[in-house]
Amino acid sequence: MRARCAPPYVRAIGSVLAAAGLAAGVACSSSNAAPAPAADGSAAYSSSGAVGPGGSAGGGVFFVMDAGATIDASDSGPSCTGDGGPQTFTCTGSMSVARDVPSGAALPDGKVLVAGGWNGVNGILTSAEIYDPQTGSFTPTGAMGGGHLWGGWGAELPLLANGKVLVAGGLDTTGQLSPAAELYDPTAGTFSPTGPMQLGAISMSPVVLGDGSVLFIGGWDSVTPELPGWSYTGMGTATVERYYPSAGVFQSTGSLAEDRLFGCNVRLTNGDVLAIAGAQGPSESTVEHNVERYDPTAGLWSSVAIFTGAPFCAGAFVLPNRKVLLMGTGGLIGPTLPAPGVLLFDPDPDAGYAIGPTSNALAGFSPSFVQLGNGDVLAFGGTLNGAPTATAQVYDVEANAWKTVGNLNQPRQGAAGAFLLASGSVLVAGGTDENGVPLATAEIYRP
């Protein structure tokens, strides 16, 4: 079976796949809606120019190389109503270019790297910018040597012990899978090549291990570009690679027991890594039911738990109580559990890998999400009951319950970047508006 995918947005990405795709036996589909006209009257997204996801005026897929800053159809942004008070969003400076699916990382100096992404004018982006929370503005920095769309599956890029940022894999500027890897040096403000991955792939969220190496787990190794998503066939890969910063190389490590396209990867407090549920392929019959544990010392995986029902996981966060919050439409469904979309998983084998519900989660909410400094989790934007939304909720660890907080200043679908600042606030950048048009605007959430 072949499946088209405008993928589920994990961490910084919401979880549309489970409801829209897996339950129906198909992965997911990208939007073919024509770009909306510019609110400020610009013609940057005219129908005669570069096209949005899914095709072009001449048929097929049309790729445009990154040409630097452009006017975005939503560049002027909304009127800000948030006052910057607790549990509200307020606008901050805009990026120089609209970015759906941007990647990036919070840097040691408190600034934020936002890199790459996609828009209908420039195609797959190689440019990068630095956000300074002191000035509330973005400044261009050195560009990547190539495209890395969906490199690391939209999660925050791994920050290495030496302060550099690793970006690897993903789709290059032609939309093909790339094994290339690069390092961003905040001091020099430049990207430089490092050793390539052994297998070009779109891997799920990479995990930084206790020794500073980085684990890239499973994912897609065969795709057809249909930007900003793709089509894929087969069952993905069970291959796992480990990047060693001191040597600048990727090496194969223990393989998963089963191929794993989707799911959650999370590092536990003891240093082990869990790969949780998800999917092996596009049909319901290939839903992934197991949980595998990686021992970084031995470099081996072992299956530790099995979930019944139709599990799906789009994001996981280790909480201060050492339990793991699992995000994703449909959640992990047991024979006696409802499907609230957010559940608590206990990774302690002595507790029998128990799974239980949280309370007050909004039904039909497929948000993006990021963990706050106190361990709580912010969920925002995406869709609510299938429609674009500006809604936001926060999971309170102590109460094991969700509470609704102030709205975004505009709906943000797609894959917005979300980065925890040193102040405890969250930078939200890019994504797409309610019409599916990539955004240059950014907002700040203050807990």
Question: Residue 402 in contact with residue 384, Cβ under 8 Å?
Answer: no
Neighbours of 323 (CB within 10 A): 20
**Alpha-carbon distance values, 300 to 36, 254, 255 (Å):** 49, 5, 7
Instruction: Name the residue with higher pLDDT: 391 or 278.
Output: 391
Neighbours of 269 (CB within 10 A): 9
Output the average pLDDT for the chain: 79
Question: Which two three-digit tokens encode residue 90?
Answer: 């307020």
pLDDT at 227 over 50: yes
Of the listed ranges 44-53, 143-152, 417-426, the one predicted with least confidence: 44-53
Cβ contacts of 297 within 8 Å, gap of 6 or more: none
Report the amino acid identity of residue 437. V
pLDDT band at 82 (very low <50, low <70, confident <90, very high): low
Quick: pLDDT tens for 291-348. 999 999 999 999 998 876 656 777 899 999 999 998 874 545 544 444 456 888 899 9
Neighbours of 47 (CB within 10 A): 11
Supply the pLDDT for residue 330: 53
**Alpha-carbon distance values, 189 to 65, 129, 183 (Å):** 22, 10, 10
Segment 103-121 shows an average pLDDT of: 96
Residues 355 and 338: their CA atoms lie apart, in Å, by: 12
Q: Which domain holds residue 26?
A: 2-446
pLDDT band at 39 (very low <50, low <70, confident <90, very high): very low
pLDDT at 423 over 60: yes
Q: What is the pTM of this model?
A: 0.84
In the three-class reduction of DSSP (H, G, I as helix; E, B as strand; rest coil), residue 385 is classed as coil
Residues 18 and 312: their CA atoms lie apart, in Å, by: 6
Question: Residue 413 in contact with residue 393, Cβ under 8 Å?
Answer: no
Segment 131-136 shows an average pLDDT of: 96
Instruction: DSSP letter for 134, please.
Output: T
Supply the pLDDT for residue 1: 41
pLDDT band at 258 (very low <50, low <70, confident <90, very high): confident
pLDDT at 80 over 80: no
Let me know how long the chain is: 447
pLDDT at 286 over 90: no
Question: Which two three-digit tokens encode residue 47?
Answer: 């129908």
Strand partners, 266: 274
Residues 400 and 382: their CA atoms lie apart, in Å, by: 22
Supply the pLDDT for residue 309: 60
pLDDT band at 153 (very low <50, low <70, confident <90, very high): confident
In percent, how much of the chain has pLDDT > 70? 76
Quick: pLDDT tens for 339-359. 456 888 899 989 888 888 889
Question: Which two three-digit tokens encode residue 400?
Answer: 């094991």
pLDDT band at 129 (very low <50, low <70, confident <90, very high): very high
Instruction: DSSP letter for 202, please.
Output: B
Give how many domains the chain has, as a whole number.
Answer: 1
Q: For 171, phi and psi rounded to 5 degrees?
A: -100, 135
Question: Residue 394 in contact with residue 86, Cβ under 8 Å?
Answer: no
CATH of residue 138's domain is 2.120.10.80
Q: In the Cβ-directed half-sphere of 186, how many Cα atoms lie within 13 Å?
A: 22
